[in-house]
A and B are shown apart, each in its own frame.
Chain A
Amino acid sequence: MHIKEKKTARNEGFLFFGKYGTIMWLLGMIAVFCTLPAFRTVNNVMNLLGQTAILSIMAAGMTCCLKMGDFDLSIGAIAAITSVVVAKILVGGGGMPLAILAGIGTGVLVGLVNGVLVAYIGLPPFICTLATMSIILGMGLAVTRGIAVWDLPAAFEFIGRGDLYGIPNRFILMICLLAIIWFMHAYTPTGRRMEAIGGNADASKLSGIRVERHRLLGYVLAGVCAAIAGIVLTSSSMSGNATQGSLYTLDAVGAAFIGAATVRLGRFHIWGTLIGVLIVVVAVNGLVILMVPGYFTDMIKGIILLFAILLSGISGKFLTGK
């Protein structure tokens, strides 16, 4: 035991930076960007909060999967197909409650398919969700023939564009959703079991946890979150589009991994993921204000993601497939 302790003593400074580095990074970045007048306007801050919402909702679902060592590449595609489903129903006169229910139902359905294929049949998560991603995207494009669905009823605008005392509704929705997922992870038997599965699936099974069922639930949660993000996206753009949403997948993964490099090193958790989302959103926003050409932002996101994975120290787990 003394070997381990010696090592930690030497690395204590590094460990502190490792734990709180991402938060310091976020605060530092905000401090620097605050010197830009365009960054600190109320308008821009509200804009930032709004952008945080969609990505956070998606990343929160992804976190549920990652927590158990699973991975869902199809979340962006789920958001896209949800957007098409919701828009088609609205345009067809189906009404908002039905459209929203059908949208969430789509997320549940795809989540179930992913979950059954991965947890029960045993396909590798990465490849399996890559395949479902492609299938869903294709379906969305086939249904819409690649053309966006416009002319949604104006009332639908309130989710993505409305606000409460200036705070965007979608940001409020995000906070509620994150709080629910956090509560589930921290205070329910199901959340505790998910945490255990993520730590050691074999030991969890031998402790009487029904591992497959919980992994399935992880995929369903990822699907539902992606669907909700898709609904928000549809409402923000007031269009149903089979191509929107896909770009969020990579950002969501990046945010979750930054989260795993925050406070509880190597573990995925909701508030860490939120920090990750804020880092991505603030960085991109600041760069845009600095008039850095758009094609640099992807590069910078990639670099942030690499750093996060290095810091979190979990890369090995995913490379070796658990």
Chain B
Amino acid sequence: MTVTGEAEVLLEARGIVKNFPGQRALDGVDFDVRKGEVHALIGENGAGKSTLIKIFAGAYRQDQGEIVIGGERKDISSSGDSQSLGLAFIHQDLNIVPHLSVAENIFLGKYPRNRFGLVRFSKMVEMARSIPQAVTIHADLRAPAGSLPIIEQWKTVINRALAQRSRIIFMDEPTTSLTHTEVDELFHAIADLKRTGKAIVYVSHRMEEVFRIADRVTVIKDAKKIGTSLMRDLDHGKLYNMMLGRELKDVFPSRGRRTDVVCLETNNLSRAGAVKNVSFRLHGGEILGIAGLVGSGRTELARLLFGADKKDRGDIIINGKKMNFKSPADAIRCGIALVPEERHTQGLVLHMDVKENITLASLDRIRRWSRIPVLSRQKEGSLGRQFASVTNIKARDLRQPVNSLSGGNQQKVVLSKWLCSNARILILDEPTRGIDVGAKFSLYSTITELAGRGVAIILISSDLTEVAGMSHRVLVLHEGAIAAEIPNDGADPQVTLRLCLEACKL
């Protein structure tokens, strides 16, 4: 059964705007859900998908715009409101209480009671069996839910939504923790739900799945809606272009040539459960992109190279010398720097000001006298100013605490810290996540400029357009090992992007 334009509209959101400090998360987004459809919601990390979902769930309140459910304007100000309007949300972590039985999980908090207020377990199991249009759970309903395979836990949560008479079920990246056969089973369950007139909003970034089950797709990018389209009107190429929004060539600054000097080389670098036999060479002036799904070992590889984790096997060779890093301090001495994935928890000391954060890794450079460890406020100020202007930080003044800066400027502070320490090998882990578009392009040009000056750069990103647009070469990681190496010297980054997408099995 395919949904057409005539199906009843269950939910409609119009012109949703949501601002966070220093960032617009949603900018006038329209979205509607119809009876009996699977509506895919796609976009890269930080595009605004989850913010939109959280507004429907009552976790956030929109700043502008309205939500219409069943033809009436509704106000969703709590998860209770959302539930009573027939919306259900299933997140990756499933919200299962592992030691409670399947039946108890289905009726979580809404147990049938007898006249003394005590829970009637036998009644509950009976009720669980008689949920209208329930998906079948292949397990004993009295067994603890935590002992079930993940797919049965999924069905438990779906049945919970049905027991609450939900009409729209939101699923957030449902296949992340499922095996191939389990994914098939989940898709069968979704097809059953569709037949009974439920609507499913399916959040994902895996194209292949979207093509398999979605009836319509809405693409969100940089807080804006790019468009909504019927899946049968799309092919892969058209959907990619929707996601990109523009031609790749025009977006990214042009790269310089890499040098012949090998700065960093790894041989069979391994760490149990994270990184497997990774060997590659990094040249001066080169931007090496690293792509792969979340959990493919990208961040772990970065931490190994930076000495933040210890390697089990293999070599790290810096400028021809084998190194054995015991801590980041050792790696920094070799000119390696890491701009970590989580800048709030790993990149910045939030209560300290801009100049203090910039000079944090180079305190020995701002001594008043070279032999005596006493800081010079004057040198600190001039060095801070110098590197704040290199990365184009926009702050009132350098004594502003970094927690009052926008995400983009905070990231520039982290980058400045490493430029100040004269890093020659720069590892960037998701450098543009959660950063607004303007700051993104400013970062891109800084990165390209640095490479032009001979700095070797490793660029880790989930945003494949970014990897394809910026890098000389792309390594694709899968389960900790290099799955593919894609050269990117051709004229069209679109080709590289397609290769990356295939290699990532998206």
* A contact set with B: CB distance below 8 Å: 1-4, 187-190, 192-193, 195-196, 199-200, 202-210, 266-267
Q: List 26 A-B contacts (CB under 8 A).
A: A1-B22, A1-B404, A2-B21, A3-B19, A188-B373, A188-B374, A189-B367, A189-B373, A189-B375, A192-B363, A192-B375, A193-B363, A195-B352, A199-B349, A199-B351, A199-B352, A200-B349, A200-B350, A202-B345, A202-B346, A203-B346, A203-B348, A204-B349, A205-B328, A208-B328, A208-B329
Number of B interface residues at 8 Å Cβ cutoff, please give it. Answer: 34
Complex Cα distance, B333 from A208, in Å, reads 9
Please indicate the chain A residues that have their CB under 8 angstroms from the CB of B417 in the complex: 207
Note all chain A residues with C-beta closer than 8 A to B21. Answer: 1-4
Q: How many residue pairs bridge A and B at CB < 8 Å?
A: 79
Report the bound CA distance from A136 to B301 in whole Å: 46
CB-CB nearest 6 A-B residue pairs:
A199-B349, A189-B363, A208-B332, A208-B329, A1-B21, A207-B361
Residues of chain A contacted by B340 (CB below 8 angstroms): 206
Q: How far is the CB of A204 from chain B (nearest CB, A)?
A: 7
Question: In the docked arrangement, what's the CA distance between A4 and B23, Å?
Answer: 13
Most buried by A among B349, B356, B361, B421: B349
* A190 and B122 alpha carbons, distance in the complex (Å): 66
Are A196 and B374 CB-contacts (below 8 A) given A4-B21, A189-B367? no
A189-B367, A193-B363 known; A205 vs B327 contact (CB < 8 Å): yes
Contacts of A210 in B (CB 8 A): 327, 329
A202: chain B residues within 8 A (beta carbon):
345-346
Q: Specify which of B328, B345, B374, B406 is in contact with A207 (CB 8 Å cutoff).
A: B328
Taking CB atoms, residues of chain A closer than 8 Å to B373 are 188-190
> B345 — which chain A residues lie within 8 A by C-beta?
200, 202-203
B347 touching A203 by the CB < 8 A rule?
yes
Q: How far is the CA of A1 from the CA of B25 in the complex (A)?
A: 13
For B350, what are the chain A residues with a Cβ–Cβ distance below 8 Å? 199-200
Known contacts: A188-B373, A192-B363. The answer to whether A205 contacts B308 by CB under 8 A is yes
Check B364 for interface membership: any CB of A closer than 8 A. Answer: yes
Helix, strand, loop or mixed for chain B's interface? mixed
Is A187 a contact partner of B374 (Cβ separation < 8 A)? yes
Q: Establish whether residues B349 and A203, one from each chain, have CB atoms under 8 Å apart when the complex forms.
A: yes
Is the CB–CB distance between B404 and A206 below 8 Å? no
Apart from A1-B22, A189-B373: 8 A-B pairs, beta carbons within 8 A: A192-B356, A193-B363, A195-B352, A196-B352, A200-B345, A206-B306, A207-B328, A267-B351
Set of chain B residues within 8 Å of A203, measured between Cβ atoms: 345-349
Asked whether B106 is an interface residue with its Cβ less than 8 Å from the other chain, the reply is: no
In the bound complex, what is the Cα–Cα distance between A206 and B349 (angstroms)? 11
Find out whether the CB atom of A189 lies under 8 angstroms from the CB atom of B349.
no
For A3, give the chain B residue with the smallest CB separation: B21
- CB under 8 Å from chain A, chain B span 330-365: 331-333, 338, 340, 345-352, 356, 360-361, 363-364
Docked complex Cα distance between A189 and B404 (Å): 25
Minimum CB distance partner of A193 in chain B = B363
A10 CB to nearest B CB, Å: 16
Q: How far is the CA of A152 from the CA of B207 in the complex (A)?
A: 84
Contacting pair B374 A206 (CB below 8 A): no
Q: Which of B416-474 contact A (CB under 8 A)?
A: 417, 421
In the complex, residue of chain B having the shortest beta-carbon distance to the beta carbon of A205: B328
Q: Which residue of B lies closest to A4 (CB)?
A: B21
Alpha-carbon distance between A203 and B410 when the two chains are bound, in angstroms: 13
B-side contacts of A208, CB under 8 Å: 327-329, 331-333, 361, 421
CB-based contact B308/A207 at 8 Å = no
Q: Select which of B329, B338, B404 is within 8 A of A209 by beta carbon.
A: B329
How many angstroms from the CA of A196 to the CA of B362 in the assembled complex?
A: 13
Chain B nearest Cβ from A25, distance in angstroms: 24
A190 shortest CB reach to chain B, Å: 7
CA–CA, A195 to B357, complex, Å?
A: 11
Residues of A within 8 A of B356 (CB): 192, 196
Residues in B with CB closer than 8 Å to A193 are: 363
Measured between beta carbons, the chain B residues less than 8 angstroms from A196 are: 349, 352, 356, 360
Chain B residues with Cβ below 8 Å from A267 are 351
The proximity string for B residues 31-44 relative to A, scoring 1 for CB distances below 8 Å and 0 otherwise, is 00000000000000
A4 touches B328 (CB 8 A): no
Specify which chain A residues have a CB less than 8 angstroms from the CB of B332 in the assembled complex. 207-208
- Chain A residues contacting B347 (CB-CB under 8 Å) are 203, 206
A4 to B338, CA, bound (A): 30
Contacts of B338 in A (CB 8 A): 206
**When each residue 301-335 of chain B gets 1 if its CB lies under 8 Å from chain A and 0 otherwise, what string results?**
00000101000000000000000000111011100
- Residue with the highest number of chain A CB atoms closer than 10 Å, among B22, B331, B346, B356: B346
Report chain B residues within 8 Å CB of A188.
Answer: 373-375
CA–CA, A199 and B373, complex, Å: 22
Contact of B406 with A1 in the complex, beta carbons under 8 Å: yes
Cα distance A207–B417 in the bound complex, in angstroms = 9
B306 — which chain A residues lie within 8 A by C-beta? Answer: 206
Please pick, from B333, B346, B421, the residue contacting A206 in the complex, using a CB distance under 8 A: B346
